[in-house]
Amino acid sequence: GESVGLHLPTLSVQEGDNSIINCAYSNSASDYFIWYKQESGKGPQFIIDIRSNMDKRQGQRVTVLLNKTVKHLSLQIAATQPGDSAVYFCAEKRWYFGNEKLTFGTGTRLTIIP
């Protein structure tokens, strides 16, 4: 069946270092891949997305890489800060009976060590 999964459930990174969060997906028909950040007690917040016909997209301190050959997605966060500590979800969006459907992965907890 379709799934969006993550390689690592937890990740600890020293403040100031770069972090990479990985995600594997199985559905090749997805239109977009999206990263969300969820802080404690809050709802998921959109970070960045990438269309399925792209392989790289950059934002402010974040870069998303998409490797369709191996169905792998990653989120790179540069110069991590304490505020980056959160659970990060990858998600895939595809059309479902004429409407969009978003399927989330299981999440990776990122902890920034001061």
Partner 1 sequence: DTAVSQTPKYLVTQMGNDKSIKCEQNLGHDTMYWYKQDSKKFLKIMFSYNNKELIINETVPNRFSPKSPDKAHLNLHINSLELGDSAVYFCASSRVPGQSNSPLHFGNGTRLTVT
Q: Which residues bind partner 1 (CB under 8 A)?
A: 31-32, 34, 36, 38, 41-46, 49, 51, 87, 89, 93, 96, 99-104, 106-107
Amino acid identity at 98: G
Q: Which is nearer to partner 1, 68 or 93 (CB)?
A: 93
Nearer to partner 1, 6 or 13 (CB): 6
User: Greatest CA separation found in the chain?
Assistant: 47
Q: Which residues of 62-101 are buried (b: 16+ CB within 10 A; e: fewer)?
A: bbbbbeeeeeebbbebeebeeebbbbbbbbbbbeeeeeee
Q: How far is the CB of 109 from partner 1 (least distance, A)?
A: 8
Name the residue nearer to partner 1 (CB basis): 7 or 101.
101
Q: Which is nearer to partner 1, 15 or 100 (CB)?
A: 100
To partner 1, the closest distance from the beta carbon of 16 in angstroms equals: 27
